[in-house]
Amino acid sequence: MIRIVTDSTSDLPLEECRKRGIEQVALSVHFGSESFRDGVDITHAEFYRRLSAAEELPTTSQLNPDDLVKVFEKYRAQGDEVVGIFLSSDLSGTYQSACIARDMAGGEGIWLVDSRSVTFGLGLLVMYAAVLRDGGMGAQELAAELEECTQRLRILAVVDTLKYLKMGGRISSAAAMVGGILGVSPIITVEDGKVEAAGKTRGRKAAFRWMEQKMQEQGVDETLPVAFGHTNCAEAMNECMEHFSALREKAPFVLTGSIGSVVGTHAGPGAAGVAYFTKKQP
């Protein structure tokens, strides 16, 4: 049997993971001296409640090798193979910890993938992996297919407030003030493993149109699934899904969910976006 292992920044509901045979290992989120296991000891709603009251941004702790070697050894002792899919190595040392844990567990039968993504982009890749596995794909072939897909995985999201980008030093206080007065909605992207600014518009609807234009330029692979996410604002995600209704209708399946601590810390509440795969280059 092939076991799929990921981390909590995939933001997949634990019940869904149990149903699909996916093991999700929790990172830790720290508000000052208080620590919580992401998605286990603290819900996304509670995370955003604490974030709105925080004077300093929370931090997260990567998984260490000991967190993962126990999982790998458990499955290998059962005779199972493991495909581990983790958040971008540019955002956390978790993938490197997984590589060390693989070696500690003997290496054989354990295949690791650096998703080059996070949150519902990572979740999309993990769920796609489950579909391919359930369709009969072997572990080595599955890992190779996912590696190729990571090169084409993208996230675009519109941010509702500049407050947390300012707190995190992503923009200056002056830029945040001017942007707030003008009603600027920044658009962020996760591409090639990094979270970066992609553009800015006046308002959410204009942001969705900007995102649609960007996706058309990139060329979306409509034969693969898509995902939609939000930071404590399902209404914003629903608006995003409505705007991209044509894409939803063509996708083999659609994943929806809440964005957790890693991206949510900087985006703040009210953000919404879409994850998708671009077409293979000829």
Return the structure tokens found at 238: 């629903």
Q: Rounded mean pLDDT of the chain? A: 90
pLDDT at 219 over 90: yes
Report pLDDT for 47.
Answer: 93
Distance CA 224, CA 252 (A): 6
pLDDT tens, residue by residue, 247-258 = 999 999 999 999
Check whether 170 has a pLDDT greater than 60: no
Q: Where in the chain is the domain with CATH 3.30.1180.10?
A: 153-277
Six-digit token pair at 2? 């092939």
Write down the pLDDT at residue 191.
80
**Architecture category of domain 2-27+62-150 in CATH:** 3-Layer(aba) Sandwich (3.40)
The alpha carbons of the chain give a radius of gyration, in whole angstroms, of 18
Stretch among 47-56, 135-144, 171-180 having the lowest mean pLDDT: 171-180
Instruction: Locate CATH 3.40.50.10440 in the chain.
Output: 2-27+62-150
Q: Mean pLDDT, to the nearest integer, of 57-64?
A: 90
CATH topology for 153-277 is: Hypothetical Protein Tm841; Chain: A;domain 3 (3.30.1180)
pLDDT exceeds cutoff 50 at 62: yes
Mean predicted confidence (pLDDT) in 230-234: 95
Confidence category of residue 104, pLDDT binned at 50, 70, 90:
very high
Q: Mean pLDDT, to the nearest integer, of 178-207?
A: 77
DSSP assignment of 212-223: HHHHHHH-B-TT
Predicted confidence at residue 165, as pLDDT, reads 62
Query: Which pLDDT belongs to residue 164?
Result: 67
**Prediction pTM value:** 0.92
Q: What is the average pLDDT across 161-167?
A: 64
For the residues 212-221, what does the mean pLDDT come to? 96
